[in-house]
Chains A and B, each alone.
Chain A
Amino acid sequence: MIASIAGEGQRTQAAPFGHALVKLAAERPEIVGMTADLAKYTDLHIFAQAYPDRFYQMGMAEQLLMGAAAGFAHEGAMPFVTTYAVFATRRAYDFMHQTIAEDDLNVKIACALPGLTTGYGPSHQAAEDLALMRAMPGMMVIDPCDALDIEQMVPAVAEHKGPVYMRLLRGQVPLVLDEYDYKFELGKAKLVRDGRDVLVISSGIMTMRALEVAKALAADSVDVGVLHVPTIKPLDVSTILREAGRSGRLVVVAENHTTIGGLGEAVATALLSAGVTPQFRQIALPDAFLDAGALPTLHDRYGISTETMSARIKGWLG
């Protein structure tokens, strides 16, 4: 079994992306699956087993993967392409830019190992993928939190006409949002939990962490709200302004990504541009090549584990 980001004893769901895609493909004959030698590691093998004649193996060649997806989309297909986030964003950036985004093609790019979700070191850690993909004109960018988010994201991105970059959690994926009154909506930020003292604005697995922090800090009578922002671009500025503009709350943006060019900077720009100036802090990965090692150790080291995050927020509250 491949390594999972799920904590011990955490509820999980297996391969939510693969199963959601299979379900959707039954209604959408234009969907094809394409990968660069990572079907088994991006949960696309579920689709490949269900629809072998709609699955295309492109080999370990990410530039080809993106170019061929563009060509397929030109011919009316809706390719869902998968690889690791580092290989898509770093190796094939120009191909996504020129062959997919410039022609506004209906290609959905699902990328595993986003941010710090592997201990394999910088070759596999996609700490800057959101910055790169946000910078690409015409590209929608999504960072889902859990299995529920992914399951609902897949049909939603298929409804959207145009290119989408989505981060992908694969294998045994945590399931947390089903405990809350939550539904994924493309382009919408959702207040998953309200709180008086702190507002954590987060995306991806950091929403899961923020909800854990909220539970932990409740014991210390610190009331933490969590605004989940699965769509990084376009950003739901009005909801962010509304929630961050409520007076007296410390605003903490938490993301599984470098401090540069991700959700934190996007939110800061939105707030300052609107003249909304709460106390503002960032929880994110450093601008550095990250260490290799065990994932829980690394999450502690770089401040994105529940414990380190709780401690920092308490410290900021004084």
Chain B
Amino acid sequence: MDISVSATRAKVAEHAYRIRRNALLMGEVQGQGYIAQALDIADVLATAYFHAMRYRPEDPAWEERDRFLLSNGHYAIALYAALIEAGIVPQEELETYGSDDSRLPMSGMASYTPGMEMSGGSLGQGLTIAVGRALGLKRKGSKSFVYTLFSDGELDEGAVWEGLMSAAHHKLDNMIAIVDVNNQQADGPSSQVMAFEPLTEKMQAFGWFTQRVNGNDLDAVIAAFDAARNHPEPKPRMIIADTLMGCGVPFLEAREKNHFIRVEANEWQLALEALEAGRNK
């Protein structure tokens, strides 16, 4: 590995660590949160915010920014952790997570939070909004990308497939979608709730330039983002990220997998310590 790649990886890894840490601290504030998802998607968010995307922390509505749409609004805790790390949301607001009058409500809402581009929560809507944004950006002659993060569970929603089909039809090469495949949704493993494989073949058949990576392998994630941005064909770009619920905190990784894991009051500190212990591995 050459020095610049190695330096990039080290920088993104440090931010990923701090995003996980922010998420755990917010979880502790409320005693709950979609922590396992925040830990699994931290490497993707770190790559997006500290390698791939253009934005100005002091001006979240900067016209030239890349847009990041969080379709799965219940991952808000993960995105807040990234927005805090990116300096878009002040560090001190971390302690307000989920509290009355906070700008960081439990489910992501555009009108509440700087840097939040859409209101998620009702699942399966992100890609449809992204299609309109991508069309709008093209109409303006903008070079910005529209990133959309959604979850494997959202593949149950028909509107996702409407969005997938139309993005290819309209040749939206300014769209980069990331599916978080952690194979967990509310009623159990996603693949059992509604079988979605073979996902790569489906996305390719829908006309997307598709890569499938281990979403917790930073080198692979960084390379996938680079390839997505630089792909030469006039196609939308898909990154399927297979992730590990609870990634970075071994005792949470090992916990029986549920959509909303139980974290006991005394475990938040243990989780922070476990995360710290694995920091430079």
Contacts and interface: CB of A to CB of B under 8 A. Distances in A.
B122 A71 contact: no
Nearest to B128: A67
Contacts of B134: 71
Contacts of B133: 71-72, 74-75
A63 B165 CA distance: 13
Contact of A98 (B119, B131, B165): B119
A308 interface: no
A220 to B, nearest CB: 54
B118 interface: yes
Interface in B133-150: 133-137, 139-140
B159 interface: yes
Contacts of A72: 132-133, 135-136
A12 B124 CA distance: 43
Q: Which of under 10, 10 to 19, 20 to 34, or 35 or more describes the interface residues of A?
A: 20 to 34
Interface string A56-71: 1011010110111111
Contacts of A99: 118-119, 125, 128-129
A201 interface: no
A73 interface: yes
A103 B128 contact: no
Interface residues of B, number: 30
B267 interface: no
A68 B118 CA distance: 12
A75 B166 contact: no
A98 B125 CA distance: 9
A77 interface: yes
B166 A70 contact: no
Interface in A7-22: none
Contacts of B170: 56
Interface of B: 109-111, 117-119, 121-122, 125, 127-137, 139-140, 158-159, 162-163, 165-166, 169-170
Given A71-B129, A74-B136, 7 more contacts: A56-B170, A63-B162, A64-B159, A71-B131, A76-B136, A103-B118, A103-B119
